[in-house]
Homo-oligomer: A and B are copies of this chain.
């Protein structure tokens, strides 16, 4: 049974209110107060504690020229990165960690902690079968959005299924201080590769000194091409692309024979109209290159081994992870805007409500 809504506080939601041509601004989002939903049979009501922010959310915002996407509120988790644009007035979708308030599913009870995908708001109902029950004693809830969450798993899938770095190879990772990039580079290091990051400003120091990359190119200082030539004297074997654009092309041009371009994200292009062309394919033939895009939802079969290995790497001190916490759902638009500008180090997480398992805030 759902308790009375006056015990729970308001159900704030964020809706998309603008169709930005370039970078989104706060006015492209709108706060709204919604009734607290009632769980139907088989469903669970939960309050979000943490909500993860992904660059790919930008791709789902309506564009001034694009037609509204067909999916609206019908999306499932798997649609997050693959679906089309949402219509104005709809919410974005995100991964949440939350606490169960009421349950009409036999596997869940009030006070349980769960992980699942839902809209940008505080209270959610979801079918129990789409939720994963969490044990907060096994790992901090916050880790479920961070190091055990989607972003480093994205890195793992891209390297396991496409990049396949080998000992002695050179791997370049863009957005190297970000949630995906920081994990990608460290996993490639564990595989024995020379790893060169690309990041901006101060974050380069973090990438080299804390994360242990062999080098990090500051993309805000000088042109990228001579910097790549300097840091990758033997060419590039794997380029793990999080950004697209000019950096993608510079890395593509430096791929060695049998090089792999892992198309994970193209965040530098999400604020722009979609380009009609990419790198040429004659070098793909001559150098036997592989260019491949992937979406994490297609590789969930890797999740158990990922979780096991990631925990071991953390324990052995071989993998370090940070997150970037922003408080309050009302600050989620600013978190996405900041993420697209590269203001974060590590996973961008919105703390939607207090984490009852944390001793200190």
- A284 touching B288, Cβ below 8 Å: no
- A278 touching B279, Cβ below 8 Å: yes
Select one of B82, B266, B289 contacting A281, CB under 8 A.
B266
- B284 touching A292, Cβ below 8 Å: yes
CA distance A292 to B287 in the complex (A): 10
- A244 touching B274, Cβ below 8 Å: no
Asked if A90 lies at the interface with its beta carbon under 8 angstroms from chain B, I say no
- B284 touching A263, Cβ below 8 Å: yes
Select one of B276, B280, B286, B293 contacting A284, CB under 8 A.
B293
- B288 touching A294, Cβ below 8 Å: yes
- B274 touching A277, Cβ below 8 Å: no
- B285 touching A265, Cβ below 8 Å: yes
When distances are taken between beta carbons in the complex, the residues of chain B under 8 Å from A118 are: none
When distances are taken between beta carbons in the complex, the residues of chain B under 8 Å from A295 are: 285, 288
Select one of B264, B281, B286, B288 contacting A244, CB under 8 A.
B281
Which residues, 303 to 359 on A, are CB-close (under 8 Å) to B?
Answer: none
- B277 touching A282, Cβ below 8 Å: no
- A286 touching B248, Cβ below 8 Å: no
When distances are taken between beta carbons in the complex, the residues of chain B under 8 Å from A292 are: 284, 288-292
CA distance A295 to B286 in the complex (A): 8
Which residues, 257 to 271 on A, are CB-close (under 8 Å) to B?
Answer: 257-258, 263-266, 269
Nearest B residue to A84, CB-CB? B286
Query: Distance in Å from the Cβ of A221 to the closest Cβ of chain B?
Result: 26
When distances are taken between beta carbons in the complex, the residues of chain B under 8 Å from A269 are: 282
When distances are taken between beta carbons in the complex, the residues of chain B under 8 Å from A275 are: 280, 282
When distances are taken between beta carbons in the complex, the residues of chain B under 8 Å from A278 are: 277-281, 284
CA distance A82 to B263 in the complex (A): 25
Asked if A202 lies at the interface with its beta carbon under 8 angstroms from chain B, I say no
Nearest B residue to A287, CB-CB? B293
Known: A290-B290, A291-B292. A285 touches B298 (CB 8 A): no
CA distance A343 to B281 in the complex (A): 25
CA distance A339 to B264 in the complex (A): 40
- B280 touching A263, Cβ below 8 Å: no
CA distance A274 to B287 in the complex (A): 14
Query: Distance in Å from the Cβ of A251 to the closest Cβ of chain B?
Result: 12
Which residues, 220 to 272 on A, are CB-close (under 8 Å) to B?
Answer: 244, 248, 257-258, 263-266, 269
- A293 touching B266, Cβ below 8 Å: no
CA distance A67 to B306 in the complex (A): 49
Most buried by B among A279, A285, A291: A285
Query: Distance in Å from the Cβ of A305 to the closest Cβ of chain B?
Result: 20
Nearest B residue to A82, CB-CB? B286
Chain A residues near B (Cβ < 8 Å): 82, 244, 248, 257-258, 263-266, 269, 274-282, 284-295, 298
A-B contact pairs, 20 of them (CB 8 A): A244-B281, A244-B282, A248-B281, A263-B281, A264-B285, A269-B282, A274-B282, A275-B280, A277-B278, A278-B279, A278-B281, A281-B293, A285-B293, A286-B293, A288-B292, A288-B295, A289-B292, A290-B292, A291-B291, A292-B292
Give the 5 A-B CB pairs with smallest separation, nearest first: A285-B293, A284-B293, A277-B277, A278-B281, A291-B291
Told that A266-B285, A274-B282 touch, could you supply 16 new A-B pairs with CB distance under 8 A?
A: A82-B257, A263-B281, A263-B285, A265-B285, A277-B279, A278-B278, A278-B284, A281-B291, A281-B293, A285-B293, A287-B293, A288-B292, A288-B295, A288-B298, A290-B291, A290-B292
